[in-house]
Structure 1
Amino acid sequence: MIKILTVKQVSELLQAKQSTIYAWAEQGFIPSFKVNGLLRFDEAEIFEWVKACKRPARCYNVNNLTRAREGGRN
């Protein structure tokens, strides 16, 4: 079953202002649709969109991070 979200729900989920969600939807940046003129979102599509926007984590050598801090620049 499809779960439909409002702008407020998406803004809370993504921790972004409602005005940002409206702007993203208008620009086609985030998947959305309108029902009776009201902006709505498919929860599954939002989660897929978030996954697609994720950047892969980098692997760091802990010893190298420690050495960088010892230099006093971090």
Structure 2
Amino acid sequence: MNTEPWVTAEQVSQHLGVVKDTVYRWRERKGLPAHKIGRLWKFQLSEVDEWVRVGGADEDSERKSLDHAAEPEADKA
């Protein structure tokens, strides 16, 4: 049984040294692991730390996903 406490976006922002808006943006655009509990997003620091270790917070990861989304689809003729 996992007894790790759930933390808030504010606590994650302090842990990572970023503003809270960045935490929410990373959750939405980069897949920062989060769990919706009621209407609040909660996090486990072990999941956040692993996400950072594998490169989830890299600047290039967001830029690449945004560049890919902006590419026009090839003609299907």
Residue 17 (structure 1) aligned to one of 8, 16, 19? 19
Structure 2: unaligned runs, 5 residues or longer = 57-77
Aligned to 1:16, what secondary structure does the other structure show? coil
The answer to whether the aligner puts 1:8 opposite 2:22 as a matched pair is no
Structure 1: unaligned runs, 5 residues or longer = 55-74
Offset of residue 5 of structure 1: 1.1
Identity %: 31
RMSD: 1.7
Letter in 2 for 1:26: E
TM-score (norm 2): 0.61
1:1-74, aligned counterparts within 5 Å?
A: 1-53=3-55
Of Structure 1 and Structure 2, the greater strand share is in 1
Q: Report if aligned partners of 1:3, 1:44 keep a CA contact under 8 Å in 2.
A: no
Question: How many residues are matched?
Answer: 54
When Rg is computed on C-alpha atoms for both structures, the one with the higher figure is 1
